[in-house]
């Protein structure tokens, strides 16, 4: 990916990352599932056990842990953080509690939808209709 910056992540519908309006190649279904799991709680750790469950790894052990590390490594490369370039966009890091996705400047559709749902009503029908239309637009293919 190099110097391009991911501006947007989409989880509602197919899992995608967008840079300059173009979809970033993320790899196969397991890569996309891993990214989705991390995007649901951006900035907060997701444990290896949670990721194994989400990815359907079955019996968890050293082989599953190795496979998870490989998936994370491939995801880092897809997001542009594993190609030797300085990280200016999203980054996946490990801390003592699990893997953490720092989305950088990228917007995340599921976070935007959550924010819309949690915003108090203001009584202006036009504003509320616009908010409902935005929420509906975020839910592509759902």
Backbone angles phi, psi at 62, to 5 degrees: -60, -40
Residue 45: name the closest of 3, 111, 102, 128 by CA: 102
Q: Which helix (H) or strand (E) holds 95?
A: strand 91-95
Contact 131, 37 (CB under 8 A): no
pLDDT at 82: 52
Q: Enumerate the H helices of the chain as residue ranges.
A: 29-39, 48-55, 62-78, 109-118, 125-138
What CA–CA distance (Å, rounded) separates 2 from 79?
9
Q: Which SS3 state, helix, strand or coil, does residue 60 take? A: coil
Task: Say if pTM beats, i.e. exceeds, 0.85.
Answer: no
Specify the pLDDT at position 1.
Answer: 40
pLDDT per 10-residue tile (average), the chain, 142 residues:
75 91 90 94 93 82 89 91 56 92 92 87 82 83 64
Q: Are 49 and 103 in contact (CB under 8 A)?
A: no
């Amino acid at each position: 990916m190099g110097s391009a910056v991911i501006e947007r992540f989409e989880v509602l519908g197919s899992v995608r990352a967008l840079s300059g309006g173009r979809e970033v190649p993320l790899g196969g279904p397991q890569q996309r599932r891993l990214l989705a799991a991390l995007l649901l709680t951006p900035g907060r750790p997701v444990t290896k056990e949670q990721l194994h469950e989400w990815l359907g790894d079955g019996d968890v052990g050293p082989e599953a842990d190795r496979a998870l590390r490989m998936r994370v490594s491939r995801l880092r490369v897809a997001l542009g953080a594993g190609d030797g370039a300085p990280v200016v966009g999203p980054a996946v890091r490990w801390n003592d509690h699990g893997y953490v996705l720092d989305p950088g400047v990228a917007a995340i559709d599921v976070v935007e939808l959550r924010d819309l749902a949690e915003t108090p009503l203001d009584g202006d029908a036009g504003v509320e209709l616009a908010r409902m239309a935005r929420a509906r637009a975020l839910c592509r293919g759902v």
